[in-house]
Amino acid sequence: MQTDSNFIFVLFGGTGDLSMRKILPALFEAHRAGMLAAAGKIVAVARGVETREAYLGWVEEHVKPHVAKNGVVDESAWTGFLARVEYVHIDLGRPEDFRILRDAVAQHDGTRVFYLATGPSLFVPICRALAEVGLNQNARIVLEKPLGYDLESSNAINDAVGEIFQEEQIYRIDHYLGKEPVQNLLALRFGNALFEPLWRREWVESIQITIAEELGVEARGDFYDNTGALRDMVQNHLLQLLSIVTMEPPHSMDSDSVRDEKLRVLRALKPIDERDISKVAVRGQYHAGVIKGQSVPAYATEPGVRTESRTETFVALKVEIENWRWAGVPFFLRTGKRLADRVAEIVVNFRPVPHSALGANALRAGANRLVIRLQPNETIRLYCLAKQPGEGMNLASVHLDLAFDQFFREGQMEAYQRLLLDVIRGRLALFVRRDEQEAAWRWVEPILNEWAVSTKPPKPYAAGTWGPAASSAMLAQHGTCWLEEEN
Ligand code: BG6
């Protein structure tokens, strides 16, 4: 276990939702597991709270419930964790407040990390204020998504931040890259010779990537209504997953080798012609419905959402990659809120046998398929056909399972924990480089533009379903269907 990197971790947005649910619990878990250097400090920065005591009170009330395991908190670890936490009250409009921060930081040795868990409109002002007091030297800056609203605004932020921090100092976080199964996908693809010859257009018929949520917009209606699923999930998480599934084997696992290969895929995405958008992109918005027995309201009646909102809570896309490995293979991506189930998975449909000596049912669906389940219950499942016991040659779909929690009972790590440790240790591979981000924005932009001016509203779907019928129809045009529709 590596604990050697001493650090000072400055958390802007210290009382925000993300700090409460993800960042502070991840730091606590790293502390509890003995993965943080003993002298490492966390300096929370916020506006709403005046003193350290008041901040610790907030942490006790809001963060502690998120660190419990089976309802129990490791109290001695919790006390030790709180001892690491310092607090600086900052008003962005007062440059002298940053001098207080500088003095607080100067009291500690170690890698300086500035984590901006704030809205993107504060990224540049915070970076400038840090530079004014010299805190951009020997430091790393972590930028949360969304980084901008479109290509132009993201470039504006990247340009301004780039004047203050070098690219090697900038950690653009996409928490999907920190998920254990996504790491495993790299291990599966590049640690085994078995899959490589099959991982291409000759053998793969289509690939589906789904990130489905049961949750709605929670308390983020205001933010979400100005964002929508394309910006919130597709531009980043789904395109990152797609690039990991389809990238060429990197020369090594160093940060630029991996990111160079992902970038090649993002640049090879077939540009979408505005006239074709209705054929390759479906946008939906949920109406009231029932999810697992629970009634939920329509998106348009959620707090913070405009009644006439045209924001999409569901997106399904057909994507193509213009390179030798993938030419002609359709990739179907989909994400949505208030869907029937919470599931994130990648389905690789291999081509059926070209001729079946075993009868027609050897060509049927349910075989020649690899399903990589990212959450919940991480598994990799290979579906094959096998003979049913008994007389005759009757085939049935069976699967080989790699259930990670059975193989590896310990050491599982939450995405944020892994990523925060990577920042502290200076590993950039799981963070998005500027050019990748630009390529992803460039690719989604025609869809964003078209949907912004389209007179057609998003297609309705009832909460608790798998999205609008048009999503299934899009796959049907390619002679296929979403995995759950097969059963
Ligand atoms: C975030 C989005 O990036 O990812 C949220 O902003 C979404 O809207 C979340 O709910 C999903 O992440 P996870 O890890 O719960 O699948």
Domain-embedded: residue 155: no
**Same domain for 394 and 258:** yes
For residue 405, count other CB atoms closer than 10 A to its CB: 11
d(CA 318, CA 272): 10
Structure tokens at 9: 């971790």
Same domain, 182 and 138: no
Positive/negative CA dihedral, 443, 446, 447, 448: positive
Task: Flag whether 481 is in a domain.
Answer: yes
Distance (Å, whole) CA 154 – CA 439: 11
**Are 103 and 221 found together in one domain?**
no
Handedness of CA 73, 75, 81, 86 (dihedral sign): positive
Q: Is 395 within 8 Å of 361 (Cβ atoms)?
A: yes
145 marked ligand binding residue: yes
Residue 275 annotated as lining a ligand binding site: no
Instruction: Give the residue whose CA is nearest to atom 9 of ligand 1.
Output: 233
Same domain, 85 and 191: no
> Vertex 388, ends 382 and 389: CA angle to 5°?
130
256 annotated among ligand-binding-site residues: no
Asked if residue 162 is part of any domain, the answer here is: no
CB 47 within 8 A of CB 90: yes
Q: What is the DSSP letter of 485?
A: G
pTM of the predicted protein model: 0.95
User: CB of 215 within 8 A of CB of 337?
Assistant: yes
Question: 91 among the known binding-site residues?
Answer: yes
Helix ranges (DSSP H) in 247-311: 255-268, 277-280
For residues 262 and 368, membership in a common domain is answered with: yes
The residues pairing with 28 across neighbouring beta strands, listed in sequence order, are none
- Residue 146's pLDDT is 85
Q: Is residue 375 part of a domain?
A: yes
The verdict on 277 and 320 lying in the same domain is yes
Residues 62 and 191 in one domain: no
Question: Could you give the count of Cα atoms lying within 13 Å of 141 in the half-sphere of its Cβ?
Answer: 24
Q: Of 93, 120, 144, which marks where a domain is finished?
A: 144
* Secondary structure E strands in 245-342: 281-287, 289-291, 294-296, 314-319, 331-336
Into how many domains does the chain fold? 2
Residue 51 lies in a domain: yes
DSSP state of 463: T
Whole-angstrom Cα distance, residue 74 to residue 80? Answer: 10
Where a domain ends, among 144, 168, 189?
144
Catalytic residue among 89, 108, 237, 478: 237
Q: What is the CATH number of the domain that holds 444?
A: 3.30.360.10
**Angstrom distances, CA of residue 309 to CA of 70, 313, 429:** 39, 11, 38
pLDDT at position 408: 82
Spell out the per-residue pLDDT of the chain, length 487, in tens. Answer: 555 679 999 999 999 999 999 999 999 999 999 999 999 999 999 988 889 999 999 999 999 999 998 889 999 999 999 999 999 999 877 878 999 999 999 999 899 999 999 988 999 999 999 999 999 999 999 999 889 999 999 999 999 999 999 999 999 999 999 998 898 899 999 999 999 999 999 999 999 999 999 999 988 899 999 999 999 999 999 999 999 999 999 999 999 999 999 999 999 999 999 899 999 999 999 999 999 999 999 999 999 999 999 999 999 999 999 999 999 999 999 999 999 999 999 999 999 888 888 776 655 667 899 999 999 988 899 999 888 899 988 888 899 998 887 888 777 789 999 999 999 999 999 999 999 999 999 999 999 999 999 999 999 999 999 999 999 999 999 999 999 998 6
Q: Which atom of ligand 1 is nearest to the CA of 145?
A: 3
Q: Which of 391, 428, 483, 476 is nearest to 174 (CA)?
A: 428
**Cα atoms in the Cβ-side hemisphere of radius 13 Å centred on 92:** 13
Nearest atom (ligand 1) to Cα of 220: 8
Question: Separation of 468 CA from ligand 1 center, angstroms?
Answer: 21
**Rounded-to-integer distance, Cα 112 and Cα 165, Å:** 13
Looking at the structure, tell me whether residues 260 and 401 fall in a common domain: yes
User: Which residues are registered as beta bridge partners of 87?
Assistant: 44
Question: Same domain for 300 and 396?
Answer: yes
> What pLDDT shows up at residue 277?
95
Give me the pLDDT at residue 119, please.
87
Task: Determine the 3-state secondary structure of 195 from DSSP.
Answer: coil
Q: Is residue 419 part of a domain?
A: no
Separation CA 364–CA 353 (nearest Å): 10
Domain around 64:
7-144
Cα of 232 from ligand 1 centre, angstroms: 8
**Are residues 182 and 134 part of one domain?**
no
Mutate to test the pocket of ligand 1, among 223, 232, 413 (most ligand atoms within 8 A of CB): 232
Cβ neighbours for 144, distance < 8 A, ≥ 6 positions apart: 18, 115, 116, 117, 118, 173
- Does one domain contain both 133 and 205? no
CA-only gyration radius of the chain, Å: 24
| Residue 288: Cβ-neighbour burial (10 angstroms; 0-12, 13-18, 19+) | middle
Is residue 168 in a domain? no
Distance CA 9, CA 114 (A): 6
Tell me how far the alpha carbon of residue 401 lies from the centroid of ligand 1, in angstroms: 27
The atom of ligand 1 lying closest to the CA of 176 is: 14
**Which protein residues touch ligand 1 with a CB less than 6 Å away?**
175, 213, 232, 344
The answer to whether residue 149 is domain-embedded is no
- Is residue 237 flagged as an active site residue? yes
- The reply to whether 385 and 249 lie within a common domain is yes
CATH code of the domain covering residue 65: 3.40.50.720
DSSP codes joined into one string, 370-413: EEEEEESS-EEEEEEEEEPSSSS--EEEEEEEEEHHHH--S---
Q: d(Cα 224, Cα 115) in Å, to the nearest integer?
A: 22
